[in-house]
């Protein structure tokens, strides 16, 4: 058991899915994992382990924002033996070509947060996905029409009132979310594998948003791709 995760030794698989929303963790456990057992309810940040096609897989909520994710991911890597972690999250598109309902495989995750510079003495570090997980996710996503592989940016602000988006659009960043950069950075420091598979839930520039049907269908696609990538690695 660690400070924020009430699992006993061995209760968490070395392969894990990481949604921001703890209720998405519950939904994944109920719909994708056989024999899922809940191992965490501290702060209602639910975590479960079950089997997917015969293999043990866990799913753990991480909360919103880089600091919250960093707490859960650090404990999972340091104290619960996790080796491969895939974030399954929503994001807001910022390019014309990224549409609501699309899937994004985040090859890199920039950030406006200062959180990494504490570890690098101010140097820039380029947080990136594990190539094996990315390749497997790309393979698994080929059956879906609208998939992008590229950079996202993990932002401190959800309601950003600055001109940051314009600069990110110019650099080809596909979408905004709030955690992947920290997942990739912690994984790099600890020699673990990480990836973020994201569903575009809204468009930050056009304000288009997903309806309930689309949300369910595309969240299913995202989970299917992430589970296939975890199984292959
Ligand atoms: O859907 P999740 O995984 O929570 O991810 C996105 O949604 C939240 C904001 O609404 C942030 O956590 C952002 O990264
Ligand atoms: O962080 C996020 C997540 C979804 N949509 C956004 O605009 N931002």
> Could you give the ipTM of this predicted complex?
0.98
> What's the CA gap between 164 and 145, in Å, rounded?
30
- Give domain status of residue 152, yes or no: yes
- The finding on whether 19 has its CB within 6 A of some atom of ligand 1 is yes
> What's the CA gap between 124 and 185, in Å, rounded?
11
Planar angle of CA 72, 73, 74, nearest 5 degrees: 95
User: Ligand 2, atom 5: nearest CA belongs to which residue?
Assistant: 92
Q: Give the pLDDT mean for 193-199.
A: 98
pLDDT of residue 9: 92
Atom of ligand 2 nearest to the CA of 89: 3
Q: Give the pLDDT mean for 201-214.
A: 88
Q: Give the pLDDT mean for 19-41.
A: 97
- Give domain status of residue 130, yes or no: yes
pLDDT of residue 232: 95
Q: Give the pLDDT mean for 49-67.
A: 98
- Give domain status of residue 201, yes or no: yes
How many structural domains are present in the chain? 1
- Give domain status of residue 5, yes or no: no
Tens-digit pLDDT profile for residues 133-153: 999 999 999 999 999 999 999
Model confidence at 120, pLDDT cuts 50, 70, 90, reads confident
How far apart are the CA of 199 and the centre of ligand 2, in A? 10
Atom of ligand 1 nearest to the CA of 178: 14
pLDDT of residue 48: 98
The answer to whether 5 and 60 have CB atoms below 8 angstroms apart is yes
pLDDT of residue 149: 98
Residue 83 scores a pLDDT above 80: yes
Residue 213 scores a pLDDT above 90: no
Atom of ligand 1 nearest to the CA of 89: 3
The answer to whether 168 and 94 have CB atoms below 8 angstroms apart is yes
Residue 85 scores a pLDDT above 80: yes
- Give domain status of residue 42, yes or no: yes
Write the DSSP assignment of 55-120 as a string of letters: EEEEEE---SSHHHHHHHHHHHHHHS---EEEEEEEEEE-STT--TT-EEEEEEEEES-STTHHHH
pLDDT of residue 72: 98
- Give domain status of residue 185, yes or no: yes
| Residues with Cβ within 8 Å of residue 194, at least 6 apart in sequence | 84, 85, 86, 87, 129, 130, 133, 183, 184, 186, 187
The answer to whether 207 and 63 have CB atoms below 8 angstroms apart is no
Residues written for the chain: 233
- The finding on whether 196 has its CB within 6 A of some atom of ligand 2 is no
> What's the CA gap between 151 and 210, in Å, rounded?
21
Model confidence at 212, pLDDT cuts 50, 70, 90, reads confident
Q: When comparing pLDDT for 223 and 218, which is higher?
A: 223
Structure-token match 């895939």, residue found: 86
Q: Give the pLDDT mean for 214-222.
A: 82
- Give domain status of residue 173, yes or no: yes
Return the ligand number nearest the Cα of 21.
Answer: 1
Helices (H), ranges, the chain:
22-32, 66-79, 117-120, 131-140, 164-170, 180-190, 212-232
Structure token digits, residue 188: 């790099």
Model confidence at 218, pLDDT cuts 50, 70, 90, reads confident
- The finding on whether 64 has its CB within 6 A of some atom of ligand 1 is yes
Question: What is the span of the domain harbouring residue 204?
Answer: 15-231
Tens-digit pLDDT profile for residues 90-101: 999 999 999 999
pLDDT of residue 211: 80
Residue 214 scores a pLDDT above 90: no
Residue 217 scores a pLDDT above 80: no
pLDDT of residue 201: 95
Of the residues 202, 211, 213, 221, only one is catalytic, namely 202
- The finding on whether 89 has its CB within 6 A of some atom of ligand 1 is yes
**CB neighbour burial string for 65-104, b if at least 16 within 10 angstroms, e if fewer:** bbebbbbbbbbbbeebebbbbbbbbbbbbbbeebebbbbb
- The finding on whether 91 has its CB within 6 A of some atom of ligand 2 is yes
- Give domain status of residue 7, yes or no: no
Mutational pocket test of ligand 1: of 179, 210, 219, the residue with most ligand atoms within 8 Å of the beta carbon: 179
Annotated active-site residue 202? The verdict is: yes
CATH number at residue 92: 3.40.50.1580
- pLDDT, the chain, mean: 96
């Amino acid at each position: 058991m660690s400070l924020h995760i009430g699992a006993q030794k061995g209760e968490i698989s070395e392969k894990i899915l990481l949604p921001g929303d703890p209720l998405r963790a519950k939904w994944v456990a109920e719909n994708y994992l056989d024999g899922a057992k809940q191992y965490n309810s501290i702060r209602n940040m639910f975590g479960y382990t079950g089997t997917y096609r015969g293999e043990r897989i866990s799913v753990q909520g991480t909360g919103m924002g880089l600091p919250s994710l960093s707490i859960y991911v650090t404990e999972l890597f340091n104290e619960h033996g996790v080796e491969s972690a895939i974030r399954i999250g929503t994001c807001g598109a910022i390019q014309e070509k990224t549409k609501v309902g699309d899937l994004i495989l985040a090859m890199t995750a920039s950030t406006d947060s200062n959180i990494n510079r504490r570890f690098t003495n101010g140097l820039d570090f380029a947080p990136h996905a594990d190539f094996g997980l990315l390749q497997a996710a790309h393979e698994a996503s080929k059956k879906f029409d609208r998939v992008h592989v590229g950079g996202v940016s993990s932002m401190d602000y959800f309601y950003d009132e600055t001109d940051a988006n314009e600069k990110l659009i110019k650099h080809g960043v596909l979408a905004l979310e709030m955690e992947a950069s920290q997942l990739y950075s912690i994984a790099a420091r600890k020699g673990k594998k990480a990836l973020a598979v994201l569903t575009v839930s809204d468009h930050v520039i056009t304000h288009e948003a997903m309806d309930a049907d689309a949300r369910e269908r595309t969240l299913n696609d995202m989970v299917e791709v992430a589970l296939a990538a975890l199984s292959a690695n």
